[in-house]
Amino acid sequence: MLAIKLAYRNLIGAGLRTWLNVFVLSLSFLVIIWHRGIINGWDRQARNDTMNQEIGGGQYWHENYDPYDPFTLTDAHGIIHEKLQSDDNYAPVLVAQATIYPGGRVQSVLLKGIEPAQKVLTIPTEYLESDAVEIPVMLGSRMAENNKLKIGDFVTVRWRDANGTFDAADAKVVHIFKTNVPMIDNGQMWVSLKRLQKIMQMDGEATMVVTSQDITSAQDLPHWLFKDYSILLKEFDEMIKMKNVGGLVMWFVLLLLAWIAIFDTQVLSIFRRQKEIGTDIALGMTRGQVIRIFTIEGAMHGILAAILAAIYGAPLLYLQAVKGMSMPEGTDDMGLVISDTIYPYYTIGLVVVTAMVVLITTTIVSFLPTRRISKMNPTDAIRGKIQ
Amino acid sequence: MENSKIISIEGLIKWFPIGGGKFTALNDINLTFGKGEFAGLVGPSGSGKTTLLNIIGSLDAPSEGKATVLGQSIGELSHKKAAKLRNEHLGFIFQTYNLLPVYSVYENVEFPLLLLGKNAEERKKAVMDALEWVGLTDKIKSRPAQLSGGECQRVAVARAMVKKPVIVLADEPTANLDAENSHNILQTMEKLNSELKTTFIFATHDEKVKKYLHRKVSLFDGKVSQDELVEKVGNG
Ligand SMILES: Nc1ncnc2c1ncn2[C@@H]1O[C@H](COP(=O)(O)OP(=O)(O)OP(=O)(O)O)[C@@H](O)[C@H]1O
Ligand SMILES: [Mg+2]
């Protein structure tokens, strides 16, 4: 109790110096939480986008479909099971390989046929509803940019139908949509399901059927195997995990900075306050008591910083979680796609764990330099002699 | 006056390691001090006054020989026991005041009482009494940085006296003071000495202090060269 009282008195007595230290520490508190919040928010957003735009609640795959082996695509289609016909809960997708010739270049693409009126995925398939002679197609913005295609452009598409016959036609870009999900963008060309079935000679057939997010588990059907979203997100989750290793390194670096700040403060203050330490000892304090006071002072910095961070940081973090943070352009070249605006996501767990880790470690870090005190010779310390 | 010996020093030698060898700062000191003495260690700079005070104050240990303070053998005490001895029975006044800079005058004087575990009421009364002795009751909220040198020294005296220790060790308590302040402080100490029977041991080469001493122990080159009682001629 005495140690706490004296530590408190020392801290408050030191006034501005204490508050500067506390402020710096509270900043690192906030940056650590904020940084985790951004990563969490980003992961969540990417996961939601992937589910909304690509995966749905799950997918029925045609038994021959293997997304890792494009050569199986020619066989990976079949008549859509009667239970899986297009409606609010099911969106059949036919996948076919094709080649396009944008601006004289050759580029192989996946044609994806989907019902324009579908409600399962949140991509603007309604643009595909058209009777034009040219095949109306829709592209993601990255795909469009890579192939220098704009809305209204024509591009020659060449494919091999169900009978193995090559055929070609002009496609017209009717829409370009922005998405953060690379799997529905890069190398993909969206067409109306009926149109694709027709040109492929695959009437009534599909490669997979995406289910709405109301259907997250289902039995396999003859020739159609159900994959729930957790299976489909496995790769995505692994990518996130890998990315999080990088995030963890960053987290550790930020924590390290906080430690260095505290350690530095402590070392300096023990050095600067030698005379005070000597005086304390001469007045009858044991070294243990002095060490306890210095350690508690360091730990109190952490506690005050947490309180301060909560006072000015909580509204800031909250505001940003609601308003989102706009990311600079071009950040999506870093492997995983980042959306334009990230909404940081903070959990109670994140805040509590961060607070605990910072408090416990700052206490330890505060303690380390105090070992100097026990080596101090009080008669030298009283004179404030530099050792 | 010297009926009970509260400090006794026998064959005390103190050397410091210097480079490869030793430097002998105190050489074969034999001294005793009784309760209520108002004594001073005098001698030129480097003669060992501070070193001897530090040993009596259990801040340092003898290299050889024996120093017994209030029945406790300095040098054989653990850190904890030494701290307890200082806390309960000794008061220090340093040449450089050594006030705690972030505490107010009141808090500085209160500090030894906190260490002794006195309750708030006892503390308040004792602190106000001590500040009254040194005439600083109007500055209780000031920080040391806001005080003059004389005022700081008076706070240091109040801090040493507040717990009414058995022995006060004062190392050059007037070195930074003008004549008037020196006399004020010395008169205060003299008063406390006669009222509370507190033993004062000074280390000084200040002529003003020497005039107040009842006993002068002269040190020269680490040895006691003279030990004389001074006839009181009625100071102040
Ligand atoms: N820690 C130490 N290490 C080495 N030598 C020391 C140490 N402390 C004191 N000395 C030496 O011991 C001698 C006595 O020192 P001390 O401080 O006791 O002198 P003093 O009589 O108090 O002098 P002053 O009047 O200048 O304060 C000096 O020569 C000093 O250099
Ligand atoms: Mg000295």
Give tens-digit pLDDT for B164-185.
Answer: 999 999 998 887 778 888 888 8
Please indicate, yes or no, if residue B101 is contained in any of the structural domains.
Answer: yes
The pLDDT, as a whole number, for residue B6 is 93
Task: Mark whether A282 and A159 lie in a shared domain.
Answer: no
Facing A13 at nearest CB: one of B59, B102, B114: B102
ipTM: 0.90
Mean pLDDT of B32-48: 94
Helix (H/G/I), strand (E/B), else coil: A15: coil
The answer, for A290 touching chain B at a CB cutoff of 8 Å, is no
pLDDT in tens, B209-224: 888 999 999 999 999 9
- pLDDT-derived band at B232 (thresholds 50, 70, 90) equals low
Q: Are residues A75 and A178 in the same domain?
A: yes
- Say if B118 is an interface residue toward chain A (CB within 8 Å): no
CA of residue B57 to ligand 1 center, whole Å: 16
Ligand 1, from B15, B23, B221: best to mutate by most atoms within 8 Å of Cβ?
Answer: B23
Q: Are residues A212 and A334 in the same domain?
A: no
Count of domains forming chain A: 2
Residues A100 and A72 in one domain: yes
Among the atoms of ligand 1, which is closest to the Cα of residue B222?
14
| Same domain (yes/no): A141, A32 | no
Q: Please give the Cα distance from B233 to B187 (Å, whole number).
A: 14
Q: What is the rounded distance in angstroms from the CA atom of residue B72 to the CA atom of residue B83?
A: 12
Which portions of chain A are predicted below pLDDT 50? 333-335
Name the residue with the closest Cα to ligand 1, atom 19.
B46
Identify whether residues A92 and A132 lie together within a single domain: yes
Range of the domain at B159: 5-227
Q: How far is B59 from chain A (nearest CA, A)?
A: 6
Burial of B107-143, coded b for 16+ CB within 10 Å and e otherwise, reads bbbbbbbbbeebeeeebeebbeebbebbebeebbeeb
Do A101 and A163 belong to one domain? yes
Domain assignment of residue A323, given as a range: 2-51+236-382
Does residue A288 sit in the same domain as residue A170?
Answer: no
Q: Which of B15, B41, B47 has the most ligand 1 atoms within 8 A of CB, as the residue to mutate? A: B47
Q: Do A9 and B107 touch (CB under 8 A)?
A: yes
> Residue A173 has what pLDDT?
95
Report the residue from B60, B86, B102 with minimal CB separation from A379.
B60
Query: Quick check: is A178 in a domain?
Result: yes
Cβ B50 under 6 angstroms from ligand 1: yes
Torsion of CA A125, A127, A130, A133, to 10 degrees: -100
pLDDT > 70? residue B26? yes
Suggest the residue from B16, B102, B142 to mutate for an interface test with chain A (most A CBs closer than 10 A).
Answer: B102
Quick count: other Cβ atoms within 10 Å of Cβ B228?
A: 10
For residue A200, being part of any structural domain is answered with: yes
Claim to verify: residue A175 and residue A243 sit in the same structural domain: no
Task: For residues B96 and A181, give the distance between their C-alpha atoms in angstroms, rounded to a whole number.
Answer: 72
What integer pLDDT is reported at residue A330 of this predicted model?
52
**pLDDT, tens digit (0-9, with 9 covering 90-100), for B104-154:** 999 999 999 999 999 999 999 999 999 998 888 999 999 999 998 889 988
**Distance from first CA to last CA of chain B, Å, rounded?**
22
State if residue B22 touches ligand 1 by the CB under 6 angstroms criterion.
no
Check whether residue A258 and residue A358 sit in a common domain: yes
A284 in the same domain as A251: yes
Give which of B98, B107, B163, B169 to mutate to test A binding, by max A Cβ within 10 Å: B98
Residue A387 in any domain: the answer is no
In the three-class reduction of DSSP (H, G, I as helix; E, B as strand; rest coil), residue B14 is classed as strand
Judged against a pLDDT cut of 50, whether residue B1 lies above it is answered with no
**Does residue A204 share a domain with residue A117?**
yes
Does the distance separating the beta carbons of B111 and A2 come in below 8 Å?
no
DSSP structural state of residue B129 = H
CB count in 10 Å sphere of residue B177: 22
CATH of the domain at B59: 3.40.50.300
| B119 occurs within a structural domain | yes
Q: How many domains does chain B have?
A: 1
Between B231 and A203, the more confident residue is A203
The number of the ligand 1 atom at minimal distance from the alpha carbon of B18 is 4
The CA distance from A173 to A168, in Å, is 16
Q: pTM to 2 decimals?
A: 0.75
Instruction: Report how many Cβ contacts below 8 Å link chain A to chain B.
Output: 69
Give the Cβ contact number of residue A14 at 10 Å. 17
Residue B56 is predicted with a pLDDT of 95
Whole-angstrom Cα Rg for chain A: 31
Among candidate residues A207, A227, A247, the one where a domain is terminated: A227
Query: What pLDDT does residue A273 have?
Result: 85
Tell me if B67 is assigned to some domain: yes
